[in-house]
Chain A
């Protein structure tokens, strides 16, 4: 691991830049198309994980703010739901254009708030968010109902209708992109939304609301900030929502299901994973571009500092190539530059919070206690003085076995646990020996073997000869305790719709029963 050189002005320059572009130092909630102060007048200070410095203040809301947001959403519901698909799609495309036009501001805001490298926010988070709006605008335009002629004079018409007002609770690891994943299908389908961002990362969503405040009719999107413990119940258990979507951990996922059961409403849950990344022996048959790509695939556990639900946090490597592959792979990991994420050369930035940093360090200790061998990393990263109050970890690789806790628990950090397998069957068995089933990776030059592994792994997405691609148009979601429901795919529209059937008789003949 190498460390970037101190560049004290990066943070202040970035903050100055975004503030000159209109980014505020205090954000109220966004309700009914404008910023609205929280009822109880409380705010919290959001700090940057880069250096622990304050970024801006955000509303620390109470249940009364959720009710105001729901009032606004319900006031907008009928008109928005009846807007023509062409008009709704135009609004979504306009949001995408505004995101593109504000790429530099949104990327900096996201990097400062989350700690992820600017090269990721510029190339992935922000452009992908824009593309999600375009994708669902396209899905909406292409959507059709269905007509079934049941007999010569009886016809079943199937219409897609919005659910109404939905509640969405999103996590802190991809603040803007997760907002896009949740908002796009809901809005495309004609719903109004009350969204609660994570308090760790409310910044980019609120900046986005400022950018698009005139694009949507007031009340179509409402954003309420605050703690899950203070406003979560008021939103998720509210009888005025028709659906709840949540991304987070499993116990709260269960709680959300309970709340939904009280109101008999549907839900979508995405609850994390412990994804296997499987390297079959033939990846080393040649020393070529494909092997290089596979080695990068191994190192992708460090993408977004490992704070990804699909982090490939277990690498399973075929025994015959284990030592040769690991030598190359570890060398690749050691080249990861950790440092100020605002530096375009930085590959891995700051963990999102001090709690997250402590949790990761705790798991590194657990790995050591269990006897896993730490082959690189293993502690906090050395960083220059100007960011010494930030939360930096060395990319860490353990070698051990799949029964160890570092192989079973989602660390949500740049910690990779590596083991070997003797056969494709054993790779599948180890890959599936987990509570979760969100993502997986398989690398092979043999299409038949790659296909077999891909079909046998119990996970919602199996990246094959690639990893960490998140295009709109590919279904994303979990098996097992990773939750259920699919996002980033056209079927997600249906998750935000009712099916209305008109069963119409064109005959004047009575049934004859009565």
Chain B
């Protein structure tokens, strides 16, 4: 069965680069408005993973979580593709310091 989430080489490279600078990281899939629907990247000890978070996958030893309710609503019929793209957007996610942005796309499994 295919993985539920895959990371593009540029997403993996960005995680590697951020990890070298900030130490252990965590990715968490956001929802809602504005910069929502994208993975947010924080220092691992900055964001508290809750009992209702589900581990979607791991990249460069960095866990990628999503809220259980959000995963239930999204369904698992499509594969999530985490990518990294140049961006001037503003959020609390660490990669925006480098004018980059993680994105979550999908493709048919």
Contact = CB atoms under 8 A, between A and B. Distances in A.
A233 interface: yes
Interface in A393-451: 403, 405, 408-412, 434-436
Contacts of B88: 44, 47, 199-200, 353, 355
B13 interface: no
A409 B89 CA distance: 20
Given A369-B78, A405-B75, A247 B70 contact: no
Contacts of B77: 370
Interface stretch (A29-37, A82-90, A251-259, A338-346): A251-259
Contacts of B34: 171-173, 198, 247-249, 272, 412
A251 B33 contact: no
Nearest to B73: A408
B97 A251 contact: no
Contact of B106 (A232, A255, A405, A436): A405
A13 interface: no
Contact of A366 (B30, B47, B50, B78): B78
Contacts of B47: 251, 254-255, 258
Contacts of A434: 73
Interface string B74-109: 110110000001011111111111000101011110
B46 interface: yes
A309 B48 contact: no
A359 B103 contact: yes
B69 A435 contact: yes
A355 B85 CA distance: 9
Contacts of B91: 227-229, 248-249, 252
Nearest to B81: A362
Interface in B13-42: 28-38, 40, 42
Pick from A198, A233, A435, A436 the residue with the most CB of B within 10 Å. Answer: A435
A250 interface: yes
- Dominant SS at the A interface? mixed
B57 interface: no
Given A200-B90, A229-B93, A410 B36 contact: yes
A408 B78 CA distance: 14
A412 B74 CA distance: 16
Contacts of A44: 88
B63 interface: no
A436 B73 CA distance: 11
A271 interface: yes
A366 B106 contact: yes
B48 A252 contact: no
B106 A482 contact: no
A355 B87 contact: yes
Nearest to A249: B36
B96 A251 contact: no
B92 to A, nearest CB: 4
A52 B101 CA distance: 18
A248 B89 contact: no
A482 B32 CA distance: 7
B30 A251 contact: yes
A9 B103 CA distance: 35
B106 to A, nearest CB: 5
Pick from B36, B88, B90, B106 the residue with the most CB of A within 10 Å. Answer: B90
Pick from B37, B38, B92 the residue with the most CB of A within 10 Å. Answer: B92
B32 A227 contact: no
Nearest to B72: A435
A172 B89 CA distance: 10
A456 to B, nearest CB: 20
Contacts of A270: 33
Contacts of A228: 90-93, 96
Pick from B36, B78, B96, B107 the residue with the most CB of A within 10 Å. Answer: B36
A272 B107 contact: no
Given A248-B91, A249-B32, A272-B36, 11 more contacts: A247-B33, A247-B34, A248-B36, A249-B34, A255-B47, A271-B33, A362-B103, A366-B106, A403-B75, A412-B33, A435-B70
21 contacts: A47-B88, A199-B88, A247-B34, A248-B32, A248-B91, A249-B35, A250-B67, A254-B47, A254-B48, A254-B50, A309-B33, A359-B37, A369-B107, A405-B74, A405-B75, A409-B37, A409-B74, A434-B73, A435-B70, A436-B32, A482-B32
